[in-house]
């Protein structure tokens, strides 16, 4: 079990498969990209599967989310999913992606055991997409979403970040589109995880702003008490159902008290929180020949030291040294 001193138990593992990405989203990284991790620093496919096996069989993890960077850029992704699907007990597995490569991979991923996907899409306008991501790939994301839905990687969840002056007027249109295509839309407050450290609290679009915008067109009914559990998204029923919309208010409505996550970076570091400034090195233990029991002990020790909250409300808050692409969303 991965328990901390506040009694929280981590059962949800986020695994970053690469820090590389084929987009350059303005809220994540500069236009020229970043200095990527060297290949020898990355966990191998075998090392990733071994760590997931330890998490599932010895530490009580029941859900695994593959992230990045862009996880579809990992050459061994399909094999990794297939091997993890064979674990006993079998974890539920999902993928967070920008969707560009989903059209060609969705069916294969479903066939080997992936359960569902989260796809990032911030706008319905191709010109705004190009401005936000610095790439002209909007149609590829739409095609990837459709392929995921058709392959049965459902519910297909769409993650959206609203940025002032770019797409902050699109919330109602995005929700209408998601309902029409049977996707579950989730708005995410912009978080201080950009490589440029340009995030400013006073310029962000808040959960309150998003909900006010949505209510100009839709009737939103709060989800019944208890349905949220440890999920980060607060959800509302749209126009009486069955569709729902979620808002992940990491900044203005933090959900740290119910957090059930542990995180593994692409270079084998355990992180207890997206905003943590400390990491525990499991890669070194793996490569020095440590048995599974020792790796599990190090992981338990790391999670035992998890802080009460993200620290975002602390006036002295400092962003993590590593950006979102290296940490894994």
For the chain of 329 residues, list the mean pLDDT of each consecutive stretch of 10.
96 95 77 78 97 98 95 96 98 97 97 97 96 92 98 97 92 98 93 56 83 97 69 90 92 85 95 88 97 98 90 66 68
State the binding site for [4Fe-4S] cluster.
Answer: 21, 25, 28, 256, 259, 273
pTM (two decimals)? 0.91
State the binding site for S-adenosyl-L-methionine.
Answer: 27, 69, 120, 191
C-alpha span between 71 and 201 (Å, rounded): 29
Torsional sign, CA 62, 321, 24, 37: negative
* pLDDT value at residue 192: 57
Question: What is the chain's Cα-based Rg?
Answer: 19
Kindly state the DSSP code that residue 3 receives in the 8-state scheme: B
The DSSP code sequence of 153-180 is --S-EEEE---TTTTTT-HHHHHHHHHH
State the binding site for GTP.
Answer: 14, 65, 96, 157, 261-263
Residue keyed to tokens 């979403």: 145
Q: Give the containing element (helix H, strand E) for 116.
A: strand 116-120
33: left (phi over 0), alpha (psi -120 to 50) or beta: left
Q: Give the tokens for residue 63.
A: 């859900």
C-alpha span between 128 and 3 (Å, rounded): 43
* pLDDT value at residue 320: 67
Backbone angles phi, psi at 160, to 5 degrees: -130, 135
Question: To 10 degrees, what angle do helices 77-85 and 45-58 make?
Answer: 30
Instruction: Report yes or no: 116 and 126 within 8 Å, Cβ to Cβ.
Output: no
Backbone angles phi, psi at 13, to 5 degrees: -105, 125
State the binding site.
Answer: 14, 21, 25, 27-28, 65, 69, 96, 120, 157, 191, 256, 259, 261-263, 273
* pLDDT value at residue 196: 52
* pLDDT value at residue 286: 97
Q: Give the tokens for residue 265.
A: 């970076």
* pLDDT value at residue 326: 67
Which CB contacts under 8 angstroms, 24+ apart, belong to 52-57?
52/13, 52/15, 52/84, 52/87, 52/91, 53/84, 53/87, 53/292, 54/292, 54/295, 54/296, 54/299, 55/2, 55/13, 55/262, 55/299, 56/84, 56/87, 56/89, 56/91, 57/87, 57/88, 57/89
């Amino acid at each position: 079990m991965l328990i901390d001193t506040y009694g929280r138990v981590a059962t949800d593992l986020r695994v970053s498969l690469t820090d590389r990405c084929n987009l350059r989203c303005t809220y994540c990284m500069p236009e020229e990209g970043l200095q990527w991790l060297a290949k020898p620093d990355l966990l191998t496919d075998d090392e990733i599967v071994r760590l997931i096996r330890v998490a599932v069989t010895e530490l009580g993890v029941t859900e695994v989310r593959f992230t990045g960077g862009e996880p579809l850029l990992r050459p061994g992704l399909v094999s990794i999913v297939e091997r993890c699907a064979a674990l006993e007990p079998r974890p539920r597995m999902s993928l967070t992606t920008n969707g560009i490569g989903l059209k060609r991979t969705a069916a294969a991923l479903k066939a080997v055991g992936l359960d569902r996907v989260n796809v990032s899409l911030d706008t319905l306008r191709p010109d705004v997409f190009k401005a936000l991501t610095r790439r002209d790939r909007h149609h590829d994301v739409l095609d990837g979403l459709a392929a995921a839905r058709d392959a049965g990687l459902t519910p297909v969840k769409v993650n959206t970040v609203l940025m002032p002056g770019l797409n902050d007027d699109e919330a109602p249109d995005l929700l209408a589109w998601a309902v029409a295509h049977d996707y579950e839309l989730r708005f995410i407050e912009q978080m201080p995880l950009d490589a440029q450290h340009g995030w400013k609290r006073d310029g962000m679009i808040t959960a309150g702003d998003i909900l006010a915008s949505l209510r100009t067109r839709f009737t939103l009914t709060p989800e019944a008490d208890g349905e949220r559990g440890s999920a980060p998204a607060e959800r509302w029923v749209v126009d009486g159902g069955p569709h729902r919309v979620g808002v992940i208010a990491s900044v203005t409505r933090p959900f740290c008290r119910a957090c059930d996550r542990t995180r593994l970076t692409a270079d084998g570091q355990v992180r207890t929180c997206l905003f943590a400034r400390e990491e525990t090195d499991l890669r070194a233990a793996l490569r020095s020949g440590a048995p599974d029991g020792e790796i599990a002990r190090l992981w338990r020790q790391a999670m035992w030291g998890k802080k009460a909250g993200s620290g975002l409300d602390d006036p002295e808050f400092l962003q993590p040294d590593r950006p979102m692409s290296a940490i894994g969303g």
